[in-house]
Every structure is written in structure tokens, then in C-alpha cells.
Chains A and B, each alone.
Chain A
Amino acid sequence: MSKPTLATVWLDGCSGCHMSILDMDERLVELSEQFDLVYSPLVDYKEFPAHVDIALIEGSVSSDEDDRKIRLVRAHTRVLVSLGDCAVTGNVPAMRNPIPVPELLDSVYKGNGLLQEQVPTHCLPTLLPRVRPVHEVVNVDVFVPGCPPSADTIFTIISELLAGRVPDVAALSRFGA
């Protein structure tokens, strides 16, 4: 039988949750014997496969692109994990929610002596009016809080899921950990 497949997906996050995956150090390589990493910023597969057993999602849903991605990921994934506070609650990206998007973009790309001031739009995603946690858009199977969740936490979560068990997340991590 072929190995279970794992994907890691990066929405609107700081990459810290992915770095925490790497913080497993050599344990990541050992653990990788038990799965195939079929989609991730770390590998060169450019397409999300048809069937993924476990997908770890970093970041919140902030643009039309994120929204499209997460729906596709959900449709092709068995166990979807919201990894980290941004995915679970919206966290830092959601801090922009009280500010209307046009005002937000203007404040960054206009004034302050900028040359060619303009809001970039060419070939770029559109920001959603409100940043949303992953579970507001699609069903989430496992929630792992932490900013980021520690490497030990991630190791336990992946090991448990690979063994077919549902990990006891509350015992491992908390918000802002």
C-alpha cells in the first residue's frame, strides 16, 4: 500500500508555522519516511493533487486567491488541519478588518513621497473586505492554536494523525503559545 500523503499550504500567514514544521529538525526527515509530501512550498509540485490525506494550513483567508485555494484544498483533502492562530482565528492578518480595503491600500501605496503612487492591481489577487479564519470558509477537522505551535506539538499532531488517531490538541498547545 502506498504511504499516506501530506500537504502543507500557505495562505495569509507569516511563514512562522512552516518554520515551526522545519524546527522538527532531523525528526522531520525521520517522520517523512511515513508519508509522501505531495504539495508544499518546500517541494516543486505545482499542482494540488486529487487526493491528500492530511493538509496542514497556515494563515488566514485574506484574498480571493486564498478563498479559491482553500476550497480546492478542502475538496481534495481528507483531514484538514488549521495550523496556528492565523488559520484558527485570523490573528494578525485579521487586524486589518476594521479598516476599509481602499483606505488600507491607499495608506500604503499613496502619499509619503512615493513615486508613481498607485494601488497595484495588475495580475494580483483582490483583497477580501474581511480576513477570515479557515473554518469560516470550509470545514476544518483539527484546530491547532499557537503562534506558531511548537515543533513538538506539530510532531505529535502529525504522528497521531498518521496513526489514525485524533490528537488531544488542548494538552499540547494554546493560543499565542
Chain B
Amino acid sequence: MSKTITIDPVTRIEGHAKITLQLDEQGEVSEAYFHVTQFRGFERICVGRPFYEMPYLMERICGICPVSHLLASAKACDALLAMKVPPSAGKLRRILNLAQLIQSHALSFFYLSSPDLLMGMDADPKERNLFGVMRKHPELGRGGIRLRQFGQQVIETLAGKRIHPAWVVPGGVNEPLTIEKRDKLLAQIPEVVAIAQKTLSWFKIEFETFREEIRTFANFPSLFMGLVTPDERAGYYEGKLRFTDSHGNIVADKLEAVNYPDYLGEAVEPFTFMKFPYYKPLGYPDGIYRVGPLARLNLVENCGTPLAQQEWVEFRALERGAVLSSFHYHYARLIEILFALEHIEEYLLDPIITKSHARYSASLNNLEGIGCCEAPRGTLIHHYRVDEQGLITWANLVIATGHNNLAMNRGLLQTARHFVRSEQLTEGMLNRVEAVIRAFDPCLSCSTHAYGQMPLQLRLISHQGKVLDEISRESFSGKHE
């Protein structure tokens, strides 16, 4: 008899979603669906509004990575003005982007996923959270809070506000960085670098105990995509797009983000508000690719900062071609935190950073603009068209988490097939099914241009589609004790 399992809500992820697993007559998982359940339609609500509002409207797509939307949007607006930004502003924007990478990765790793890693996938759900981590592993927990705090402090110092700042403007940034502020930030770097290194040393020992998860958490060949700079580093704020395959070979290179419709298509499926981007030359769904920390470390020929470079070499030695297990998104995230800290220091030491001229002005020169950068979760593209008055007539957003949609669904199926046994469903099984999604760190608010909460609900559905049994971890059953 075939059944369906629904996990509802999925917790410790960034958004609203649920998971359905379909079982066949043998009780084996045959299908897995990742439902993103929130919709807001930013692409439509922006129509008719002036383009210069976009950075501050679009950053409200997501409270976790507002800076990415702020920057992609500002870059699209720079393109509408047909202008470059002053060199100091370019560097300040880059620092802002890296600061956000740090805070977002710290959130994902320490606040959302470390409970699984520290206490085990089968741990008591009551303890399996940040507060449990603080009780049992206070040093690691405190380190995580500090890393996230540092990222947020850099954003606050530069942009005046931790969440939804209005400092980045078309043409540059609103206010230059003072020497005093710069020095304050620089003084903190050695401390946070030490935390990042300590966490990495711990993780490298710890992940050995997750062999089974490494083997089955969305571990399959796929393409990888991301921005790469001319000197072969991952380009977080700039660069051209590269696709590599699972052997590490370059499939396509130096693609201009502005031509994205030539090589990226999007499909719609009936079970989720999140679209499915695919690599056009391979079609749908064969054009599956992954983005984000794992992809970025797989794409490049070097990492670019001394400490992170050493870690990157070790990381790439895990496998002969590309590192394929999505479990290693966690590992890649820690290396990127270290890289971002070192790179912020380099930028801050550049005298240009405190130059007073940080904004150019121009009037509308183009009726179409595209802005692209790497958000913590992968490549982000904002594409706007305006009329002669500068009012938005059309917008398209290709969002980091969306690129991973095909891979998340396929990974879900792989993990569920391996761990879920219909005859005796356990908490730990369900938690692993959620954990594979957590490894991708999906930002569902972004990907549906709305935020989603993840209900996790296991439903047993017969192959005729009849609901036979339901094990619902439904968030709002409002159960009485």
C-alpha cells in the first residue's frame, strides 16, 4: 500500500515550507516534494514606482540578506543611470556584502544547523536549538553569536542600521567611512578570525561522524554556477558567471550576467511558489545546477586570502573533482566566513576606503538595467525596465535559493529514500529530512520573493492519491495539553 508523509512545519530554516514524501507499495519513498508556501510578488508590486525606491523596497524581500538585494538593486539602478560608482564606494559596498555573508553564514551554521551537528540528528528536539547549544557547548555557541554580531556591526557601522539600511544609493553610497570607524572595525578582526579558525578545526574533526549524512545529503553530480573574477577568485560583488561540472571542468565561462536569459530558463511546478531555474543548454530538468558556498568553492582556482586559501586546498582535496555532497555546504560556509574576514581587513587597510567622495550622480540614461552579485546563498540577479519618467514597468528577480530548487528536491528524495522507513517513523528520520534542506540554507522569503515558514508534515498517500495516514508536525494545531 502506498502512502504519503508530510513534514509540517520544517523548523530551523529560513522560511515557510513543508515537505511531502510519497511512499510506494513496498513502503519505500518514491517521490519527495519541497513546498514553499509563501508568496508576495515583489516583481509585480514594484511596477509603477520610481526606480530609486527599489533598493529600499527590494531589501525588504528578506531580513536575512537585505544587503544582497540592496546591492543587486543598486547595481541595476547604476545601470539605469549608465554610471560607475566612485572607487571608495565600490570598496565600501564590497565590505558591506562580505559583512552580510559573515552574519548570514553564522546564522545558518550556528543558530540553525549546529544543534544537529553538536547534539546529533537524533537528539531530543527540546534541546536541539541555539539555547541547547549555549548550555552544552557555551564556547562554540558564544563564538557563533560573536561572528554574527561582528557581521551585523560592520553593516551598522557602515550603513547606520543592521537590517534594511538606506546607505547604498544608485551611484554609490550615502556617506563615506571615517578613519575612527575604520580603526574600530580593524581592531576587532584578529579576535573574530580566531573564532572562525577554531570553529573550522572543530568542524573538521566532527564531520567524520556524519559519514552517512555526507554520503546521502544531496550528494550527486550536478553543475555549479557562480560569479568569478578575472583573477580566478569567487566574485562576490562582481565578475562573470561560470558553470563547472562534477569533475570540476568548465562548461561555460565568462558569461555576462546581463545575458542571463540566454542561458538560464525558469520552470514552474504546481506544488511550490518557488520557481525552478535550469541551465538552458541542458534543458529542464537536466540543467540542474547548484549555487552558493559549495558551488563557489568548487568553481574557483584559488581562494585569495592566506588563511582561507589553506582551508580551501584541504576542502578541495576531499574529492577528486568537485565536492558533491551538499552536507559540505556547512564546511564551505565556515571557509567563506574566514575568507570574508580576511578580505574585509584587506579592504579596510586600503587608504582609498576613507576617501570622502563616495557618490556620483546622473540622471536616467537607460531604460533597462540588470544588477548581479553573489548573495550568501548564491547568485542574485535584479532586472528592471523603466519608462522615460523612471517608473518601473517590469521587473524580474532571479534569486539565490531558487537556483538550488531542483537540487533541493532531488536531495530531499535521496535523503528520504535512505533514512525514511515507513514501518517505524522516528523523530530522527524526520529531522534528517529537514537537515538536508537546512544544509542548503534556503532563504524562502527571497526565493518566492516572499518569506515562508516551513511546516513539516508527513503524509501517507496511496498511489491513487488517497490520504491513508498523516503524521503531522503541524505548527498551528493549537493542541491542548
Contacts and interface: CB of A to CB of B under 8 A. Distances in A.
Interface of A: 10, 12-20, 22-23, 25-26, 29, 32, 37, 39, 41-51, 59, 62-63, 65, 68-69, 72-73, 75-76, 91-93, 95-96, 99, 104-105, 107-109, 112-118, 120-125, 127, 147-148, 151
A112 B396 contact: yes
B473 A123 contact: no
A95 B12 contact: no
Given A42-B129, A124-B37, 15 more contacts: A15-B63, A23-B152, A43-B12, A44-B125, A44-B128, A48-B476, A50-B481, A62-B39, A65-B37, A69-B476, A73-B476, A104-B41, A108-B43, A115-B278, A120-B268
Contact of A22 (B111, B270, B284): B111
B456 A46 contact: yes
Contact of A120 (B60, B273, B455): B273
Contacts of A127: 39
Contact of B268 (A41, A73, A114): A114
Contact of B61 (A14, A46, A51, A117): A14
Contacts of A123: 18, 20, 33, 35, 37, 271
Contact of B38 (A19, A48, A63): A63
Given A10-B453, A96-B44, A123-B271, A17 B129 contact: no
B265 interface: yes
A72 B270 CA distance: 28
A105 B12 CA distance: 28
B242 interface: no
A112 B473 CA distance: 37
B26 interface: no
Contacts of A121: 270
Contacts of B476: 47-48, 68-69, 72-73
Interface string B38-65: 1111011100000000000100111110
Contact of B474 (A16, A46, A120): A46
Given A50-B480, A69-B475, A147-B164, A59 B152 contact: no
Nearest to B135: A29
Contacts of A108: 39, 41, 43-44, 449
B450 interface: yes
A174 B20 CA distance: 41
Nearest to A127: B39
Interface stretch (B141-149, B319-327, B332-340, B416-424): B141-149
Interface of B: 8-9, 11-16, 18, 20, 33, 35, 37-41, 43-45, 57, 60-64, 66, 107, 111-112, 125-126, 128-131, 134, 141-142, 145-146, 148-149, 152, 162-164, 261, 265-273, 275, 278, 284, 396, 431, 445, 449-451, 453-456, 473-481
Q: Which 4 A-B pairs have the closest CB atoms?
A: A16-B63, A46-B473, A115-B267, A72-B478
Given A10-B16, A15-B63, A148-B63, A124 B271 contact: yes
24 contacts: A14-B451, A16-B63, A19-B63, A20-B162, A22-B148, A26-B142, A26-B149, A42-B129, A43-B12, A45-B11, A47-B473, A49-B479, A49-B481, A63-B37, A92-B45, A107-B41, A107-B43, A108-B449, A109-B268, A113-B261, A118-B270, A123-B18, A124-B37, A124-B271
A12 B271 contact: no
A48 B63 CA distance: 24
Of B145, B163, B475, chain A has the most CB atoms within 10 Å of the CB of B163
Residues of B contacting A: mostly: loop
Of B13, B14, B44, B125, chain A has the most CB atoms within 10 Å of the CB of B44
Contact of B272 (A39, A44, A120): A120
A44 B478 contact: no
Contacts of B16: 10
B269 A116 contact: yes
A23 B128 CA distance: 21
A12 to B, nearest CB: 6
Contact of B131 (A14, A15, A32, A91): A32
A167 B44 CA distance: 38
B268 A115 contact: yes
Contact of A29 (B33, B145, B273, B475): B145
Contacts of A59: 451
B451 A107 contact: no
Contact of A47 (B33, B130, B152, B474): B474
Contact of A42 (B57, B111, B278, B473): B111
